[in-house]
Structure 1
Amino acid sequence: MEASTVAIVTGASRGLGQALVTSLLKSGTQVISIARNENAELAEQASACGAVLQQVRADLSDPSAAQACADRIAADLPRQAQRYLLINNAGTVEPISQAGDLADAGAIAQAFNLNVTSVIVLIASFLRATPAAADRRILNISSGAGRNPTPGWGVYCATKAALDHYTQVLNAEDHGVRVASLAPGVIDTGMQAKIRSSDSSQFPSVERFAQMHEQGQLPSPEAVAEKILRYIANDSFGTTVLDDIRNHA
């Protein structure tokens, strides 16, 4: 018996992505997870829940790997589900540097490939592979950094701004899907640990993030994942294309 909902989640091996997959599996959703590495814990959870989990290994910062991944998912995607979800969660905050030191073209290209290019390619496959009659929803995990300039995050801000604008274009094209680009707020993940280790000369806001962590102000990935899944399941999803989870209970 096929699941009524099929979800694709990128960046699923840890942090928010892992928390999203865990919650989806508990709800009986069939999940296709995409990450650089497989996650044994998720496999165990799927088995315990009796849910279907397909883990796809792919480095989405590599354009050829992202394309191959998108093509594979399009070919394997079940065609009889009532609802299809695509959650583009994978992303990187690196390189973190002031403008004068952003001289590594390869690192910059990798960030754009992961944060923007792979999203566009996966969405194209999702649109082609899912039946038009189904309830299709696309959620791009963005950031407040795409809407507010942050010194030291030139690349991250640029990629998230590009993601936001692409989502608006996708919505304007009206493909019969509901779409949103969502800022999830600051979460207690590995990305935050990386941010807190930044050089203050390159990222002047590092102390503010360190204080948030020390004062216990960072919500867990699990708590944020639950809010995001309630948000994407709501009948109003897609009404606000550029959104922030902090606007929702």
Structure 2
Amino acid sequence: MTNTALITGASRGLGLALARSLAGAGWDLVLTARGAADLERVAAELGATAIPGDVTDPAHVERLARAAPELDLLVNNASDLGVTPLPPLAGYPLEAFRVLLETNVTAPLALIQATLPALRAARGAVVNITSDAATGPYEGWGGYGATKAALEQLSNVLSAEEPELRVWWVDPGEMNTRMLADAVGAEEAAAAADPAKVAAALYDLVSARPASGKVSLQ
């Protein structure tokens, strides 16, 4: 029987790299991202189902859940960096912080809620991508880090409430992605890990299916 995964933020970076790993292992994939053109190219490459849209849109979340009535793996990878250049908390625009919470915390929870029946039926797994900014006091990263800390605790509680599932909150470490380049500059980002290498470690985690918990990949 073929496994099915739903991956958000799948048009680039870690989401794309993981989609390639899973597709290579024969998984069926439902992929989403905001950029329709890039997502359609990825889906054509991998033979996946592409459903472009914004994960903060409840109607889009419902479309994703309907597209995966049988689901073994949900990967909440889509996230937003927030205001750039990264501002100190003393001057963080509160409306921008509310939007960041909606994208990085509320949207993953909404998708978990929408797909739980399918995940429970399959005794499946949830991967929530977090960050070392969730715990480290990095100047300028307070807004983003606070949302990732919230996602980690959400994951922690979910793992206790859904013992038949596997729930992993995964810190992938610094990767050479557009998001990191937006935060620290392209030159520094280029020295970070290749997302494909990190995705290989994440694929090994999914395959090994260890107990629920926090996982650092670098």
Q: Same fold by TM-score, threshold 0.5 exceeded?
A: yes
Residue 144 of structure 1 contacts residue 185 of structure 1 at CA under 8 Å; is this kept in 2? yes
Q: Which residue of 1 aligns with 2:50?
A: 55
The separation in 1 between residues aligned to 2:188 and 2:201, in whole angstroms, is: 24
Residue 74 of structure 1 contacts residue 128 of structure 1 at CA under 8 Å; is this kept in 2? no
Runs of 5+ unmatched residues, structure 1: 198-208
Residue 31 of structure 2 contacts residue 43 of structure 2 at CA under 8 Å; is this kept in 1? no
Extract structure 1 runs of 4+ deviating beyond 3 A: 209-213
Shift of 1:188: 0.5
After superposition, what is the alpha-carbon deviation per residue over 1:89-132, rounded to whole angstroms, capped at 9, x for unaligned? Answer: 01122222112211x23321121111100000000111123452
Runs of 5+ unmatched residues, structure 2: none
Q: Which residue of 2 aligns with 1:189?
A: 177
Q: State TM-score, norm by structure 2.
A: 0.90
Q: State TM-score, norm by structure 1.
A: 0.80
Residue 72 of structure 2 contacts residue 119 of structure 2 at CA under 8 Å; is this kept in 1? yes
RMSD: 1.9
Residue 10 of structure 1 contacts residue 88 of structure 1 at CA under 8 Å; is this kept in 2? yes
The separation in 1 between residues aligned to 2:81 and 2:211, in whole angstroms, is: 27
Matched, 1:177 2:165: yes
Q: 1:86 is aligned with what amino acid?
A: L
Q: Which residue of 1 aligns with 2:63?
A: 72
Higher helix share: 2
After superposition, what is the alpha-carbon deviation per residue over 1:47-68, rounded to whole angstroms, capped at 9, x for unaligned? Answer: xxxx4x11111122x4xx1x21
Shift of 1:160: 0.6
Work out the percentage of aligned pairs sharing the same amino acid: 31
Q: Which residue of 1 aligns with 2:208?
A: 234
Q: Could you tell which deviates more after superposition, 187-196 or 168-177?
A: 168-177
Distance 1:59 1:243, change over 3 A: same
Larger Rg: 1
Q: What SS does the aligned partner of 2:75 have?
A: strand
Count of residues in correspondence between the two structures: 214
Q: 2:193 is aligned with what amino acid?
A: P
